[in-house]
Amino acid sequence: MCGIVGYIGQRAADSVLLDGLKRLEYRGYDSAGVALLDPDYSSDIQIVRRTGRVANLSDALKPGTNKSRMGISHTRWATHGDVTEVNAHPHSSSDGRFAMVHNGVIENHTSMRRFLESKGFVFKSQTDTEALVNLIAYHYDKETVQEPEKRFYEAVRKSLFHVEGTYGIAVVCKDCPDTLIGARRGSPLIVGVGKGEHLLASDVNAIASRTTNVIYLNDGEIALLNKDNFAISTTSDEGVEAVIHTVDWDTTDAELGNFSHFMEKEIFEQPQALQNGMRGRFADDGSTAMFGGLNLSPSELRLIDRIVFIGCGTAWHAGLVAEYLIERFARIPVEVEYASEFRYRNAPLDKNTLVVAMSQSGETIDTLAALREAKRKGYKTLAINNSVGSSIAREADGGIYQHAGPEIGVASTKAFTSQVMLAAMLALYLGRIRDLSYSDGAAMVEAFKSLPDLVSRTLTCAESIRKIAAKYSQYNDFLFLGRQEMFPIALEGALKLKEISYIHAEGYPAAEMKHGPIALICEECPSVFLATNGEIFQKTLANIQEIKARKGKVICILTENCDMPDDLVDDSVIVPEAHEAIQPILMSIPVQLLSYYIALERGCDVDKPRNLAKSVTVE
């Protein structure tokens, strides 16, 4: 989603800002822009905006030719107004004195705009952002304080009081070429603390190559930055003691290396991502997992009699797998809710309910709002999250970091398998403080330890999946079918294919097929079956036969040792057979690869699929 980078320091601001914007490209955007300030006060704020890629902006800007040492920049993902240069950020006030970039949605922008127009302000764009930057100019004119920096700060602060909605903003003022202001409510914003320079960004990734010292702003905080110092306060003008965190971020993690796409890289780095997620998380007795950050004692957890997982998209699918695994191994009833529904549904929850927010980015607005709603009602909350310091991680009562490394590809892959693994480890932990036996626990621990190797073995099927993808890439409808824990993997397979190949795909529990979807079966609609060995295999086989009887093509992802009749399926991929706690992870790998290779065959932009953003920070 939209990205923000701001800079004040001693280097060429245009180069720093463009570099930051390039590092945010993965979030998804449709236009980009920069505002630069002249250090000598001699000219107006220079604003350059372009639709399309950051490369277009770079061509227009010719980095290195500008002497500015401070500026703000943005990648926009349209919410209010079309994708045009005029609607791209930064936006300036009608007197040209202020420029601002903004993430979030100003819900009362129409009334703000009407008020400002009545005062003579002229609007150029259709955006909500332009209302706020003009409101800042309005308050600046009214401000009685004369000292420009204080006046600038007061104008921003007073304007934010009138905002209904969410914002992460970076603002500059022509009268203050030594001051950069940022503020947040509901949209992430961090301050990068460097030597003789400060940065603002919506995402650590944008600035990690410059500094690893960051301050995570909280909602309702304003950062006032100069080259050499900073001050954080609240919108009520109370000083805030800022905590500087050191982020553990290897910038090479966010580079492609020898891979063609981030999605490909992230699929193939799953063995390592999973290994990192389980490191140090098994108890010495070899029969259970342990987590440092739950902030709930075993006796408190024993009182929990219901768990609700909240999440969106792929994270919601990981929650569905968690439901099967926690109910099976810990015998605690689990429900899984779309965060966007949960936040407004006012669901009755029992008093001993634990709410677990699942989110890779930790910034998905619906998940964050649902988490806040659960906390407001007094429930205990946890987060399973891949972004250290993210809003969800900070606001949950406790949590489990995934340590899967940055996920850049819009289609979630390694974050999904890592969420499933951690949910399975949580099932083990909760089971062992209840009725799961030592030997069952020890068998699970052994299974987790073998997981990275099993994932590596599964990845060797890539070449055969590439061939299957070539054969099926021209079909426009797919069904993904699986039973029990394989049902969420079927949903995930359908989502992956949809989002990066633009192919219509649906996931169903295999037996549900007879209740409607079977009407779709024909030679033009292949089905991808996820079949594991065990008690349910014969049932899955019967479902496959129903499809074959209707001339449907079947691609089957199945575990070794499954007794699949010769020639029943058209194509198959064999996955190692493993403990049921980790089998869903192994079965996910072929569906990820299948969608990746089909998207390549169709010439799609795999890492930046149309209309999608990596982190959905607006409702």
- Contacts with ligand M6R by CB under 6 A lie at 312-315, 359-361, 364, 367, 410-412, 495, 499, 615-616
Q: b/e for 109-126, b at 16 or more Cβ within 10 A?
A: beebbebbeeeebeeebe
Q: How many CB atoms sit inside 10 A of residue 261's CB? A: 20
User: Which listed residue (265, 380, 496, 614) is catalytic?
Assistant: 614
Question: 313-330 vs 486-501: helix axis angle to the nearest 10?
Answer: 170
Residue 521 Cβ vs ligand M6R, minimum distance, rounded to whole Å = 27
Is 471 annotated as catalytic? Answer: no
Q: Cβ(179)–Cβ(223) under 8 Å?
A: no
Q: Which is nearer to ligand M6R, 353 or 359 (CB)?
A: 359
Structure tokens that stand for 592 in this block: 């990820």
Determine which helix (DSSP H) or strand (DSSP E) holds 529, and give its type and residue range. Answer: strand 527-531
User: Which listed residue (2, 173, 176, 312) is catalytic?
Assistant: 2
Beta strand spans in 298-408 (E) = 306-311, 334-338, 353-359, 380-385, 398-401
Measured from each CB, the residue nearest to ligand M6R is: 313
Q: Which is nearer to ligand M6R, 192 or 409 (CB)?
A: 409
| Distance (Å, whole) CA 359 – CA 313 | 9
Residue 616 Cβ vs ligand M6R, minimum distance, rounded to whole Å = 5
Residues in the chain: 619
Q: Which is nearer to ligand M6R, 66 or 361 (CB)?
A: 361
| Distance (Å, whole) CA 615 – CA 77 | 11
Residue 614 Cβ vs ligand M6R, minimum distance, rounded to whole Å = 7
Residue 418 Cβ vs ligand M6R, minimum distance, rounded to whole Å = 11
Q: Which is nearer to ligand M6R, 23 or 614 (CB)?
A: 614
Is 380 annotated as catalytic? Answer: no
Of 392, 401, 432, 441, nearest to 301 by C-alpha is: 432
Q: Cβ(98)–Cβ(137) under 8 Å?
A: yes
The β-bridge partners of 504 are 477
Of 105, 182, 164, nearest to 618 by C-alpha is: 105
Residue 339 Cβ vs ligand M6R, minimum distance, rounded to whole Å = 8
Q: Which is nearer to ligand M6R, 1 or 564 (CB)?
A: 1
Q: What is the three-class DSSP state of 352?
A: coil
Q: Which is nearer to ligand M6R, 369 or 444 (CB)?
A: 369
Q: Which residues are catalytic?
A: 2, 614
